[in-house]
Amino acid sequence: MAACCGCCSALKPRWKRLVDNIFPVNPEDGLVKNEMDKLTFYAISSPEKLDRIGTYLEKKLASDINRRRIGLIFVAMDALDQLLVSCHSHSLNLFVESFLKMVQKLLELDEPDLQILATQSFVKFTNIEEDTPSYHRRYDFFVSKFSSMCHSGTPNEEIRTRIQSAGLRGLQGVVRKTASDDLQVNIWEDVHMDKIVPSLLYNMHNESFMCLDLDSPKDEEHPAYIAEQVFRDLVCRGSYGNIRTVLRPVLIHMDNHKLWVPNDFAIKCFNIIMYSVQQQYAYLVVQMLMSHLDKCVNSDPAIKTSIIDVLFHSVLIAAGGSLGPSVLDVFNTLLRHLRISVDNKSQDEKAREMERKFEEAIITVIGEFANHLPDYQKIEIMMFVMGKFPQLDQEDIGISIDIQLQTMLLKTLQKVAATYKTIYMSNTFHPEFLTGLLQLSQLEDPSMRITVQEILHSLIDRHNNTPKFKAIVIQKDLGQLALNDSKVSGQDSLFMKKNNVQFYNHIMDNIQMESNKVDNYEALYCTMCLLAVELGSEEILTEMLRLGLDIQQGVLTQMSLPMTHKCAIHGLVAAFINIVAQLVGQTPLVQYVKEVIDIRRDEAPYLLPDFAFNRSNRPSSYSHIDNVQPKCLFDQATLQQFLVDCGQDASRLTTPIAVKPFSTLDKAVSGSGSDIGSINLELESAEGSPIFSRRWTDEEITVESLKKMLAEDNTEKKEEEARKRQEIYQTYRTAPFEEIVARSEQKSCNFHNKLTEILDMVSRPPDSPERMRKSLQMSPKAVFDVSFPDLFVY
């Protein structure tokens, strides 16, 4: 009967006849449209027949493939596409299975046209929204096949381009169909991403396409353009749980194909990733790059520099979301790589140069990271960086450490400080941070001291006045500088009163260093002027005048300084006192300062900045300089009198400064330890004005001396305990039993005698003379019985 039905079309089921009628006599005529409409109407009216129609079409397609009837193959696929788009019944799943089998058969052929035809049909299928999910449908074959098409090596360039484009469209269809449906196959598995992502990157890495300008028109059918769009779509669909599976193949591809150097393509890829990834997951990209940098710790410096450069561009895009929850971990990783690079003492000059570029790149990235942090975290990061300085004894500062490491860490501090916006000084300069930063200013290397001063400039300057004090000059009119200042707040005034000794001590110690150069003096002058402008209340400005006088007197009594340094310091003092006098705003004071400067200009021009900071000077330029005449100096008594005449408190000009000593660098940097205040510092002057000079006690009390004392005490106690233990041991080992019993009885007797004495005293009346005498001997004197001097009584 079945054979009879096959021979006689009239006996075939209706759905078979409708399928047969859509095929034309001449394949070139294409699908018979009227018959196709009938078949579509029948499939919609009788959805239960749809799976049979699909099976029958699959059978006919297989026959046409075996007989190489290419025209009829196109007709069958056209019919399948129309049925797929038109029918939305619940039984579509069974029809899809037949459809995917037919697509798979075509993809397995070596005919490019049939592969492209199958891909186009598959893309149409992926655009359909199915009503019910399919739990058993697999796309492994399609992922593998489309990926292989993306790597097509066909010699004909036109055909190769068409196949690659079709493969990319196919991968896009697979991602679209499965990425957002949890009930479908998990396309985010490593086995799939290891095929999809490299295929996309392979097509994106097209030199001719990458060289096009951003504004130039691009061929939307070019494989590189399609691959970029698919890659963006893939990254955009990634969530927290699977974005790493996309990034891992990207990093592996860059390593395997050596695409880090040059890193143009790597930067392009990660720019696409950062712009496409969901904002809340941007920090995961940064973490992956950091982890990959850890893996490449022993790689070529050029590769590490390129990775850091990619990281920098990624942070620029990610902005505030680039760090994630582990802020200190990110900075710790970068600083660890900085330390490793500095410790790498390569003998090859080229390799060392690449390491230096890598270190500069790390510092740049740290600055960019810090730029996106809130201000309170920037202070924490700067303290964290300071904690990376090697721990040193005070006498070894700048001598026993790696100068290059210090330079890199200071540059890192400077980069972070440049991004900080100071509001209140007390919030910026925490005690540990201020102490550590000022301690770093005592390093031996002059360039490092300049860097510390520049860090202070960034943190103190709130109104962008730093450029106006870069050069040491005599300002005739301060108004020409157009200073951006504001009234000093009570909080800032209190901060300066509390910490002025530290700043003054820092300036005095730095200004008297013999290794100073012109740049060092200019940096110190800028720091002093910024303190006067930003924190210059009436009291503070008076103390600034005292600071200038102290520096002047210190130069006169400092015999070891060369004449070049003395002239430079005198010129600095003249420029600084001139600035402070104009900030005070009292005309007689300003006029007196101007008179002293005019006297110097006429009789001692070498005491002014124009001569002292002339970089073309030679040692012979100072050969004619004699002792400084008193009339060329700023007189303390005269300044004090002018301040009193103006109604200001001038007592601070003669009040000694109770200078606190700096702690050691390791204590300052780590922020730990207690303040040792037992070191006395006094100020004395040959002419009566206070200057900074330290007078130490006969035995210097330092942390090391205290440790030594404790160690000696512990040693004596241990020796005494060991001797007693040895005596007891020998007694019990060698003494007769009767002697041991006698000793025990003696101890027991002493105990009983003492106990009897105590009980006897307790049993006496409270007012008895013996008990009163014992109580006075045993109890301390009451507080209310102590007689205080009248000055202590309120």
Would you state the pLDDT for residue 172? Answer: 93
- pLDDT tens digit sequence for 378-426: 888 898 888 888 654 444 444 434 688 888 889 999 999 998 999 889 9
Q: Do 625 and 606 meet the contact criterion of CB atoms below 8 Å apart? A: yes
Q: If you average pLDDT over residues 62-81, what whole number do you get? A: 86
Lowest mean pLDDT among 246-250, 449-453, 664-668, 709-713: 664-668
Strands (E), 252-341: none
pLDDT at 197 over 80: yes
Better-predicted residue by pLDDT, 50 or 232: 232
According to the per-residue pLDDT averaged within each range, which of 29-43, 84-98, 293-307, 556-570 is highest?
293-307
**How many other β-carbons are positioned within 10 Å of the β-carbon of residue 491?**
12
Would you state the pLDDT for residue 392? Answer: 47
By residue count, the chain amounts to 794
Q: Do 163 and 115 meet the contact criterion of CB atoms below 8 Å apart? A: yes
Q: The pTM is what? A: 0.70
Rounded to the nearest 5 degrees, what angle is found at the Cα of 531, between the Cα atoms of 530 and 533?
A: 60
Closest CA to 401 of 610, 669, 663, 651: 669
pLDDT at 214 over 80: no
In which band, very low, low, confident or very high, does the pLDDT at 617 lie, cut at 50, 70 and 90? Answer: confident
Q: CA-CA distance, 556 to 134, in Å (whole number)? A: 93
According to the per-residue pLDDT averaged within each range, which of 58-62, 338-342, 577-581, 757-761 is highest?
577-581
Q: If you average pLDDT over residues 212-220, what whole number do you get? A: 54
Q: CA-CA distance, 369 to 334, in Å (whole number)? A: 11
According to the per-residue pLDDT averaged within each range, which of 12-26, 100-114, 713-727 is highest?
100-114
Q: If you average pLDDT over residues 89-97, what whole number do you get? A: 69
Better-predicted residue by pLDDT, 107 or 45: 107
In which band, very low, low, confident or very high, does the pLDDT at 742 lie, cut at 50, 70 and 90? Answer: confident
pLDDT at 242 over 70: yes
Write out the two tokens for 531: 């303190």
Would you state the pLDDT for residue 228? Answer: 94
Would you state the pLDDT for residue 181? Answer: 62
pLDDT at 691 over 70: no
pLDDT at 666 over 80: no
- Please spell the DSSP secondary structure of 486-515, one letter per residue: -PPPHHHHHHHHHHHHHHHHHHHHHHT-TT
Q: Do 524 and 510 meet the contact criterion of CB atoms below 8 Å apart? A: yes
Would you state the pLDDT for residue 442? Answer: 87
Would you state the pLDDT for residue 258? Answer: 93
Lowest mean pLDDT among 233-237, 260-264, 637-641, 768-772: 768-772
User: What percent of the chain is predicted at pLDDT more than 70?
Assistant: 77
| Single-letter code of the amino acid located at 634 | F
Better-predicted residue by pLDDT, 736 or 289: 289
- pLDDT tens digit sequence for 498-514: 898 899 999 999 998 99
Would you state the pLDDT for residue 605? Answer: 87
- pLDDT tens digit sequence for 167-187: 999 999 999 888 766 555 678
Cα separation of the two ends of the chain? 127
Rg, Å, the chain Cα set? 44
Better-predicted residue by pLDDT, 144 or 4: 144
pLDDT at 793 over 80: no
Q: Do 495 and 426 meet the contact criterion of CB atoms below 8 Å apart? A: yes
Peptide bond into 656 cis (omega under 30): no
Q: Do 50 and 83 meet the contact criterion of CB atoms below 8 Å apart? A: yes
In which band, very low, low, confident or very high, does the pLDDT at 302 lie, cut at 50, 70 and 90? Answer: very high
- Please spell the DSSP secondary structure of 299-312, one letter per residue: S-HHHHHHHHHHHH
Q: If you average pLDDT over residues 198-216, what whole number do you get? A: 70
Q: What is the mean pLDDT of the chain?
A: 80
pLDDT at 761 over 60: yes
In which band, very low, low, confident or very high, does the pLDDT at 73 lie, cut at 50, 70 and 90? Answer: confident
Closest CA to 76 of 58, 88, 94: 58
Would you state the pLDDT for residue 711? Answer: 64
- pLDDT tens digit sequence for 352-367: 888 889 999 999 998 8
pLDDT at 523 over 90: yes
Q: If you average pLDDT over residues 47-58, what whole number do you get? A: 81
